Copies of this chain bind each other. A is one copy, B any other.
Amino acid sequence: MKGRDVVLGLLMEKELSGYDIKMVFEEIFTHFFDGSFGMIYPTLRQLEKDGKIRKEVVMQDGKPNKKMFFITDEGRKEFQQYLQSDVEKEVLRSDFLMRMYFGKYSDVSTIQKWMEEEIKRKEADIEDLLSKYETWKKGITFEEEVSLEIGIATYTAEVETLKRKLTQLKKKDALE
């Protein structure tokens, strides 16, 4: 799965501008995908050159003009090909878990601070996903629901584990 596949996938439903795409990345994909403007605009340009999408300039009032991109039949074909490829293994890169692994080179108060920060980050993520769930509840597809519920469940499990371990750490620290 590349940025290109995701951009095509979003255009499958309706035409979007580069800016719109960035908004979707931030609102919906935050917990399992990321993409910057520096990736989006060059990708759109390349897709247009390849005949996978076409452009229409739309005048707006009250806002600057935008360039809307529509997927072509060629583009739909490419997206279907992506869906037929093997599912890639998920990639996680966690600085927090790495620091846990290297914990012996830090002191207990630092470890504790990192764990508390991670709990806060993840609790905020859970809040965010729950509010999305509430907002979309009506129109949501089964599969979108799966992606949301997995996010909520895994973050919740992480927070619970962290809170349990934090209590252990504090007990251990008080004894010494």
Contact = CB atoms under 8 A, between A and B. Distances in A.
A74 interface: no
A32 B147 contact: no
A67 to B, nearest CB: 23
A77 interface: no
Interface in A153-176: 153-154, 156-158, 160-162, 165, 168-169, 172
Interface stretch (A14-22, A44-52, A54-62, A88-96): A88-96
Q: How many A residues are at the interface, by size bracket?
A: 35 or more
A85 to B, nearest CB: 9
Interface in A65-92: 79-80, 83, 87-92
A176 to B, nearest CB: 12
Contact of A33 (B93, B142, B147): B93
A144 B100 contact: yes
A156 to B, nearest CB: 7
Contacts of A158: 150, 153-154
A88 B97 CA distance: 11
Contacts of A143: 99-104, 111
B98 A83 contact: no
B98 A33 contact: yes
A156 B97 CA distance: 17
Given A104-B141, A150-B158, A161-B149, A95 B99 contact: no
Interface of A: 1, 5-6, 9, 12, 28-29, 31-34, 79-80, 83, 87-106, 110-111, 114-115, 117-118, 121, 141-147, 149-151, 153-154, 156-158, 160-162, 165, 168-169, 172
